[in-house]
């Protein structure tokens, strides 16, 4: 079918709605994915389709075997950076989680997950045919995961089906409250029971130092577009030697007529994953990522500062564990909520007031509970955000000290 010129017009000159130059974007999922200069340049160089495949080695035709650009080296460096034995780049963190679930479990098996896990963790388990058991959290206002309860949940599964869960899974830093979990505790439990431990570092790896060995992780999953200054879609699955044969099992299928076989290809990756620009952005930003994780303490102190300041506004309270150990902040705001009840723009007023002040990223319509992320903001920008909130509070007669 021909598509009319009019209908195609909207695809010309596509522009970003909120550019980094014009707005302070505090959208939680977007702070860690802002590209470096190097990555921006690399995108132009490698924008064409399968742009990294020029020199794919004919005998071991696989993305991780390409040496120019240095993808093979990159995978080794990635693994080392995460304190793991091997790594592969995949399309998204959720794909990494799915691959781990699929390759470690069999249909009907259980996987134990924390109750603050990302929705995609639940879907990954569902698609892999696994059942889940959730580890409880403390509820309002901390929502702290009871890490020792992994023990009970393992026992529960054993009692119920007579065998161990296929894996235990912990979200290192959750997307709801930005709580940082002490992964070592779960790593130790996993080791006691001899069950593989998957640690989801979507919000941690790439912004803070991660040592998988020290935490006792068998698999680490990461999100390039969330936390590694890379374009979507990019993710990382890193794993230890002991699980290599399972996670990156080779293809065994054979054509019934042709006897064709593809024994070089890694099954769960369907051969190759990210074969162009997004992978290159991940690589181009890597030197900066290696450096920036060393500045994590400074990033956390900005988050703590902003929480300390905003809690001076009447009715504002940080949810999740205090003090903040991560830059994702969840606030409860009875006072802004009260304003929304009688405002003609309802809950949208807060978003609109902030936008007028060139701050975006708080979900339109939310006032009672909202999230944002200070990662990578300068101190000047952090103070600007504080002043904007103070200013809006004053405008609506909400006091602050
Ligand atoms: C953002 C997030 C994901 C999803 O990451 P993708 O790379 O988009 O798949 C998974 N888990 C957690 C904890 C997240 O915060």
Order of all β-strands in the sheet with 369-373: 316-319, 328-333, 369-373
Measure 291 CA to ligand 1 centroid, in angstroms: 23
281-302 residue pLDDT tens: 999 999 999 999 999 999 999 9
Copy the structure tokens of residue 221. 């999953």
Measure 116 CA to ligand 1 centroid, in angstroms: 12
Q: Has domain 37-293 been given CATH number 3.40.640.10?
A: yes
* Cα–Cα separations (whole angstroms), residue 31 to 109, 240, 376: 36, 29, 7
Copy the structure tokens of residue 177. 């409250």
Domain locations in the chain as residue ranges: 9-34+294-395, 37-293
In this structure, the residues whose C-beta lies within 6 A of any atom of ligand 1 are 29, 92-94, 118, 120, 171, 174-175, 200, 202-203, 223, 225-226, 235
Measure 306 CA to ligand 1 centroid, in angstroms: 24
Q: Give the separation between CA 174 and CA 324, rounded to whole angstroms.
A: 13
Q: Tell me whether the CATH fold assigned to 9-34+294-395 matches the one assigned to 37-293.
A: no
Q: Give the separation between CA 289 and CA 35, rounded to whole angstroms.
A: 11
Mutate to test the pocket of ligand 1, among 223, 230, 330 (most ligand atoms within 8 A of CB): 223
Helix, strand, coil fractions of the chain, as percent rounded to 5: 40, 15, 40
**pLDDT averaged per 10 residues in sequence order, the chain, 401 residues:** 93 90 94 98 97 94 96 98 98 98 98 98 98 98 98 98 98 98 98 98 98 98 98 98 98 98 97 98 98 98 98 98 98 97 96 97 96 98 98 97 86
Q: Which pTM does this prediction carry?
A: 0.97
Max CA pair span of the chain? 78
CATH number for 9-34+294-395 (one of 3.40.50.2020, 3.90.1150.10, 3.30.9.10, 3.30.70.360): it is 3.90.1150.10
Question: Residue of the nearest CA to atom 11 in ligand 1?
Answer: 118
């Amino acid at each position: 079918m021909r598509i009319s010129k009019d209908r195609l017009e909207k695809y010309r000159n596509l522009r970003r709605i909120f550019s980094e130059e014009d707005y302070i974007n505090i959208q939680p999922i977007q702070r860690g994915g802002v590209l470096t200069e190097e990555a921006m340049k690399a995108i132009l160089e490698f924008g064409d389709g399968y742009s990294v495949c020029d020199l794919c080695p004919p005998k071991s035709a696989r993305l991780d075997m390409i040496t120019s650009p240095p993808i093979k080296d990159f995978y080794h460096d990635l693994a080392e950076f995460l304190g793991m034995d091997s790594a592969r780049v995949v399309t998204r963190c959720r794909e990494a989680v799915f691959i781990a679930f699929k390759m470690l479990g069999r249909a009907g098996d259980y996987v134990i997950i924390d109750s603050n896990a990302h929705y995609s963790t639940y879907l990954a388990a569902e698609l892999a045919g696994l059942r889940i058991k959730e580890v409880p959290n403390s509820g309002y206002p901390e929502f702290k995961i009871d890490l020792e309860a992994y023990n009970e949940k393992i026992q529960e599964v054993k009692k119920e089906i007579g065998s161990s869960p296929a894996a235990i899974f912990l979200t290192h830093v959750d997307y709801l409250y930005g709580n940082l979990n002490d992964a070592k505790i779960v790593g130790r439990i996993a080791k006691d029971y001899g069950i593989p431990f998957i640690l989801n570092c979507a919000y941690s790896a790439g912004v803070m130092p991660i040592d998988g060995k020290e935490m006792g992780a068998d698999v680490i999953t990461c999100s390039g577009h969330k936390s590694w200054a890379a374009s979507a879609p990019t993710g990382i699955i890193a794993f230890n030697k002991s699980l290599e044969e399972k996670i990156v099992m080779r293809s065994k299928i054979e054509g019934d007529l042709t006897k064709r076989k593809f024994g070089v290809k890694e099954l769960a990756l369907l051969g190759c994953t990210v074969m162009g620009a997004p992978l290159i952005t991940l690589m181009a930003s890597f030197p900066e990522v290696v450096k920036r994780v060393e500045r994590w303490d400074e990033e956390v102190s900005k988050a703590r500062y902003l929480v300390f300041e905003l809690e001076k506004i009447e009715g504002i309270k940080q949810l999740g564990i205090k003090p903040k150990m991560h830059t994702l902040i969840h606030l409860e705001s009875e006072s802004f909520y009260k304003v929304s009840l009688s405002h003609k723009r309802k809950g949208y007023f807060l978003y609109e007031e902030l936008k007028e002040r060139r701050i975006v990223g708080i979900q339109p319509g939310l006032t009672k509970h909202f999230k944002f992320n200070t990662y990578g903001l300068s101190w000047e920008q952090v103070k600007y955000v504080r002043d904007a909130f103070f200013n809006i509070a004053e405008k609506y007669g909400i006091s602050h000290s």
